[in-house]
Amino acid sequence: AMLNSYYARHYKGKLILRFDDTNPSKEKMEFQESIVKDLATLRVFPDQTTHTSDYFDKLQVSMEELIKKGKAYVDDTDVDTMRAERDKGVESKRRGQPVDESLKLWKEMLAGSTVGLTCCVRGKMDMQSKNKCLRDPVFYRCKVDTPHHRHGTKYKAYPTYDFACPVVDALEGVS
């Protein structure tokens, strides 16, 4: 944060403090307040403070576009099987399903239905990548057990950090 603050001042940019609040079970307002206080102690004062959750509606639209373009799919594979398939480079049984089926399951996720809760959205990437994290990573998952600290129970499906961060960077003009 100190280096970012320095570069923002030096190059006449602006320092954006973004809270990546994409996982409601790991977020609390007190954490954010503590971070702001700690930054002030270091004499780091952001020009703007944002939250990834400010963009949840836009992120949902972006996700739906990726599904419609066949670049992502909804998967109901259990975690252990998904992990084993990823490790072996084996595609999920859901990877090749019709877009309409993924869109139907996506709506279930957004509603937080019983069916939706068993699903996640995965990006279609390279299942043979040497970097196993890039083997169809999860872009969205359902969380209904804990209300979001800013939005309550409005959202049932949440973007992962890896999906949300580059999209929000683009929306905020971060380079």
Q: What is the pLDDT of residue 82?
A: 97
Question: Which CATH number goes with the domain that contains 152?
Answer: 3.90.800.10
Other Cβ atoms closer than 10 A to 46: 18
Do 85 and 147 lie in a common domain?
yes
> Residue 125's closest CA among 138, 106, 140?
138
Does residue 152 lie in a domain region?
Answer: yes
**Residues 128-141: pLDDT tens digits?**
999 999 999 999 99
* Confidence at residue 172, expressed as pLDDT on a 0 to 100 scale: 95
Total domains, the chain: 2
The answer to whether residues 18 and 46 touch, using CB atoms and an 8 Å cutoff, is no
What is the pLDDT at residue 51? 96
Q: Model confidence over 24-73: pLDDT tens digits?
A: 888 888 889 999 999 999 999 999 999 999 999 999 999 999 999 999 99
Q: What is the pLDDT of residue 97?
A: 98
Rounded distance between C-alpha atoms, residue 83 and residue 133, angstroms:
10
Last-in-domain residue among 54, 81, 96: 54
* Residue 77 and residue 150 in one domain: yes
Q: Do both 91 and 127 map to the same domain?
A: yes
**84 & 131 share domain:** yes
174 within some domain: no
Q: What is the residue range of 136's domain? A: 56-169
Q: Are residues 41 and 68 in the same domain?
A: no
